[in-house]
């Protein structure tokens, strides 16, 4: 005959086991699933954020690259336009004297003075394009530094970095020689204009040299201090 105490113990164990199983099924398993799901969502979100950041950097790099290319192309366009303008004004000065009244001819040398002023304006444009190129190059190199931190071996394959990027005011660059050429042509125009206005030779030379110094000094100063 089965002892009542044994039955009570068995029922108690069964009830306790059932309660534990119910608790695990009702509360513990959903909680674990929730934690696992949250962890997975966090990891997925982090991966998505990384992908989004890299995509954003790609877009920024492409924009900076296009801006630097555009700055180089604009420099060439400006130089071609200046040379065309310079040639047209100098060539037109000779031909226009035959068709304008004599009382106007005495004011024609002003065209050379205006041309020298325009030459300085063109130099300022070259300076601004150099600054724009340097800003774009800095952005691209900052993005490179981000990837260098993730993979140091990339430094062995990339030449231009923030510490190796040429300074904007560096001499012996295409921008500098372009500005130097414009400054020389502007100085010649200024000297011709002053000569036609019968300015004394010594004063003419001093003014022309001062103009040349201002042009080249502006190039150096504005690029070095990013004015």
Counting Cβ atoms within 10 Å, is residue 226 exposed (0-12), middle (13-18) or buried (19+)? exposed
Measured distance CA(136)–CA(74) in Å, rounded:
14
Instruction: Delimit the domains of the chain by residue range.
Output: 65-224
Averaged pLDDT, 23-47: 50
**φ and ψ of 162, to 5 deg:** -60, -40
Q: Work out the percent of the chain whose per-residue pLDDT is above 90.
A: 45
68-124 pLDDT, tens per residue?
999 999 999 999 999 999 999 888 887 787 777 777 778 888 999 999 999 999 999
pTM: 0.75
Mean pLDDT comparison of 41-45, 80-84, 169-173, highest-scoring range: 80-84
Q: For 37-52, what is the mean pLDDT?
A: 52
Q: Is the dihedral of CA 14, 15, 18, 23 positive or negative?
A: negative
In a 10 Å sphere around its CB, with 0-12 CB exposed, 13-18 middle and 19+ buried, how is residue 20 labelled?
exposed
């Amino acid at each position: 005959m089965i002892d009542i105490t044994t039955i009570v113990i068995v029922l108690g164990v069964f009830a306790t086991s059932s309660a534990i199983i119910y608790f695990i099924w009702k509360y513990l398993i959903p909680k674990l699933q929730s934690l696992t799901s949250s962890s997975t969502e966090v990891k997925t979100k982090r991966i998505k954020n990384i992908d989004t950041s890299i995509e954003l950097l790609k877009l920024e790099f492409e924009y900076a690259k296009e801006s630097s290319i555009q700055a180089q192309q604009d420099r060439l366009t400006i130089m071609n336009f200046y040379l065309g303008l310079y040639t047209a004004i100098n060539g037109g000065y000779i031909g226009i004297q035959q068709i304008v009244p004599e009382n106007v001819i005495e004011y024609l040398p002003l065209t050379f003075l205006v041309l020298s002023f325009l030459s300085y304006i063109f130099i300022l444009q070259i300076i601004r394009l150099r600054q724009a190129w340097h800003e774009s190059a800095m952005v691209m190199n900052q993005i490179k530094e981000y990837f260098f931190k993730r993979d140091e071996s990339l430094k062995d394959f990339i030449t231009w970095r923030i510490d190796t990027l040429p300074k904007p005011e560096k001499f012996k660059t295409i921008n500098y020689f372009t500005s130097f050429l414009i400054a020389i042509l502007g100085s010649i125009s200024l000297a011709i204009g002053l000569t036609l206005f019968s300015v004394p030779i010594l004063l003419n030379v001093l003014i022309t040299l001062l103009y040349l110094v201002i042009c080249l000094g502006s190039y150096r100063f504005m690029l070095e201090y990013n004015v």
